[in-house]
Amino acid sequence: MSTPHDDSNAPHRDEPSRPDRHDTEHHDADRRDAGAYDADRRDAGAYDAGHQQPYAAQGAPAAPYAGGTPTQGPAPSRGLAIAALVLGILAVLGSWIPVLNIGAIVLAIIGIVLGIMALVQAKRGTAAGRGMALFGTVLSVVAIILAIVVNVFLVSTLEEQAPAIQQELERQLEEQGYSDEEIEELLGNG
């Protein structure tokens, strides 16, 4: 039987210490947990000294441990920028249609407002999509200019052609048997 001062069970200095069975079970559990941690780190792309990374990931920088909460918040929104771009595209397409291009001008104005809002948010860093916002704003401005040019062209063409159109209408009404007084009343010349 050993006494408290008896060192017969103590390891000698040259002999490695042997953990008892209880310590070995905890050590094995710790090793399994560490293995799971290493597997998580490998999955996240982090470097693990015990395992070589795949060839493609060797040159990549180490990523933080993926378990737990992310270090960055959610990706910034691009909703306003996308809306500005879509409205700019629709406004440019609609600006070529005479008379209906007035609706394209309304879409373009909304696209400009949304584009400017998205640019301001992108400058503050609270939203992404600066390029889309800028392109949508430019497209909206181009759509307004095109719609105005098309409307001016339409009005000038109608003013030039108005006498010829009126003469053609009078001729067709005479062929249908209308009197001169009725024609003047219909065309508003009287």
Q: Structure pTM?
A: 0.54
Structure-model confidence comparison of residues 33 and 117, the more confident one: 117
3-state secondary structure of 55: helix
Domain borders along the chain are: 18-71, 79-187
For residue 31, name the pLDDT band (cuts at 50, 70, 90): low
Residue with tokens 């200095």: 13
Report the pLDDT value the prediction gives residue 46, as an integer from 0 to 100.
Answer: 47
Q: pLDDT digits over 139-165, tens only? A: 999 999 999 999 999 999 989 988 888
Q: What is the pLDDT of residues 63-105, one digit of tens each?
A: 555 555 555 666 678 999 999 999 999 999 999 998 889 999 9
Tokens 């024609």, located at residue: 183
CA dihedral 147, 148, 150, 152 (to 10 degrees): 160
Q: Provide the CB-side half-sphere exposure for 176 (13 A, CA).
A: 9
